[in-house]
């Protein structure tokens, strides 16, 4: 049976106007030029230093772009977009609506999640229509974590990680477009890509006995050396941002990997393809 959950932690932003396409294309990491009606992608707005400030889905509806972002970041994202607007003919405002996710079924609704097919589909409802749900937000969070996909607000904070660390370079048709022109933070991101200097990545972690993992931000260590820190979790599974070179050495040495005092195992997501240095 298809799982359908309302993502009550998401909010919408409308970006329209004659200059909307150029405005976004020169600002965010993904490519929005020539998007078809109903097409969607996923990207981010970075700091000038190349770290993720906001991340979002971008859906093209007519001449308007709709952002699906974390509700806790909606007001700040509107403020930042307005800051960059200057004299551009762009209208930016919050949009009433709901966001749903559907997965684990054949008759999936909405548009395919552009990050990873296994995540399923997303549905943006702005007309007040009701959707029947068969799951909840926690179910979706578990689904996402088990696939190894980190999210801003749930697994890391604003201005804390580079796009590569959040696996944004791994999405084939979204995340970062390395062929487009300049955008905020582009120089740093391109350098990391071409030099292969992204040493830390979000990976899956699991407790050995299925017990709950420690809280967000808990250090991950091996033989007293820090490998990284824990992201969000659900019962015995979670995500962690780890230095992969240190992890490799710890595994080779046969050392225990600990979150606080709890031994954990590490699962590198199946979709991950390392960038050669």
- Residue 275's pLDDT is 66
- Residue 172's pLDDT is 85
- Residue 108's pLDDT is 73
- Residue 109's pLDDT is 77
- Residue 118's pLDDT is 94
Q: Enumerate long-range contacts of 174-181, CB under 8 Å, 24 or more apart.
A: 174/30, 174/41, 174/42, 174/43, 174/114, 174/115, 175/29, 175/30, 175/42, 175/43, 175/44, 175/115, 176/29, 176/30, 176/43, 177/29, 177/30, 177/31, 179/31, 180/25, 180/31, 180/33, 181/25, 181/26
CA distance 100 to 109: 9
Domain positions in the chain are: 3-191, 199-267
Write down the pTM of the prediction: 0.95
- Residue 130's pLDDT is 84
- Residue 252's pLDDT is 93
Report domain 199-267's class: mainly beta
- Residue 277's pLDDT is 44
**Looking at the domain 3-191, which fold is it?**
Gyrase A; domain 2 (3.30.1360)
3-191 and 199-267 share one CATH topology?
A: no
Q: Over the chain (277 residues), what is each successive 10-residue block's mean pLDDT?
A: 94 97 97 95 98 98 95 98 95 97 84 95 90 95 97 98 97 92 94 91 93 95 95 95 95 92 93 74
């Amino acid at each position: 049976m298809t799982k359908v959950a309302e993502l009550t932690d998401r909010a919408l932003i409308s970006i329209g106007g004659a200059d909307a396409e150029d405005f976004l294309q020169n600002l965010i990491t993904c490519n929005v030029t020539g998007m078809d009606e109903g097409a969607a992608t996923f990207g981010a707005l970075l700091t000038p230093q190349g770290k993720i400030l906001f991340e979002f889905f971008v859906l093209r509806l007519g001449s308007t772009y709709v952002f699906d972002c974390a509700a806790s970041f909606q007001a700040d994202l509107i403020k930042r977009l307005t800051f960059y607007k200057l004299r551009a003919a762009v209208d930016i405002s919050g949009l009433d609506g709901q966001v749903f996710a559907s997965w684990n079924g054949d008759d999936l609704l909405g548009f395919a999640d552009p990050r990873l097919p296994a995540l399923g589909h997303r549905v943006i409802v702005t007309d007040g229509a009701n959707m029947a749900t068969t799951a909840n937000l926690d179910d979706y969070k578990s689904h996402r974590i088990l696939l190894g996909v980190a999210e801003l607000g749930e697994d890391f904070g604003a201005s804390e990680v580079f796009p590569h660390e959040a696996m944004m370079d791994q999405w084939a048709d979204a995340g970062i477009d390395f062929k487009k022109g300049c955008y905020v933070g582009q120089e740093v991101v391109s350098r990391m890509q071409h030099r292969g200097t992204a040493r830390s990545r979000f990976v899956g972690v699991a407790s050995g006995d299925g017990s709950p993992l420690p809280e967000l931000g808990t250090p991950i260590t091996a033989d007293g050396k820090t490998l990284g820190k824990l992201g969000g979790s659900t019962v015995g599974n979670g995500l962690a941002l780890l230095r992969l070179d240190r992890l490799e050495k710890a595994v080779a040495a046969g050392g225990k990997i600990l979150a606080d005092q709890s031994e954990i195992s590490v699962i590198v997501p199946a979709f991950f393809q390392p960038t050669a240095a």
